[in-house]
Amino acid sequence: MSSIKIATGVKDRLNGLKEHPRETYSDVIERLVNELATDTHDQPPFQIPLLYVRIRDTIHTLDHPIDLSCERDNEDFILYNHEFHLLATAPNLHEALVEITDEFEENWKDYVEQDIHKLSSGAQLFRQKLISLIPEEI
């Protein structure tokens, strides 16, 4: 099981929302999302910031978070961001976030780790957009 880093301030808030001492952060987030998404037809998608991504088994902090839209469809969570071509569907929020980080890594391999001269002009612009998210050199 992969873990996703959570900012200290967010951890403090999540700890205050725990209903049971053994409840995990993922459990708390999933419970809150379930409570908010009881009727998906009347509620607009809400945003979850993606702060960290994995590239070749190394976790990187994004210079600017990617806002992921989150919706519920029956029992599944749907996370997406059109700007960065990210889409994931999973039965729980944790799995959806792991899928999103996998999607980001695939985009990185497909655009950043390719020979720039073999990319179309649109793909080169998308490549630059991805590179600008990670301040340290990879």
Residue 79 lies in a domain: yes
Output the CA angle 32-93-9, nearest 5 degrees. 60
CB 106 within 8 A of CB 114: no
Does residue 2 belong to any structural domain of this protein? no
Does a structural domain hold residue 138?
no
Tokens representing residue 26 in the block: 């993922």
* Full pLDDT tens readout for the chain, 138 residues: 566 677 777 778 878 888 888 888 788 888 887 777 665 555 667 899 999 999 999 999 999 999 999 988 878 889 999 999 999 999 998 999 999 999 999 999 999 999 999 999 999 999 999 999 997 766
pLDDT of residue 46: 83
For residue 92, tell me if it sits in a domain. Answer: yes
The answer to the question of residue 53 being in a domain is yes
- Inside any domain, residue 69: yes
Is 90 domain-assigned?
A: yes
Q: Are residues 18 and 25 in contact, defined by beta-carbon separation less than 8 angstroms?
A: no
The total number of structural domains in the chain stands at: 1
Q: Of 47, 2, 42, whose CA–CA distance to 26 is shortest?
A: 2
What is the DSSP track for 7-61?
A: -HHHHHHHHHH-SSTT--HHHHHHHHHHHHTSSTTTS--EEEEEEEEEETTEEEE
Q: Which domain holds residue 102?
A: 8-133
Position 3 in a domain: no
| The pair of three-digit structure tokens given for residue 135, joined into one six-digit string | 């301040």
Q: Which residues neighbour 48 within 8 Å (Cβ) at sequence distance 6 or greater?
A: 67, 68, 70, 79, 97
DSSP state of 106: H
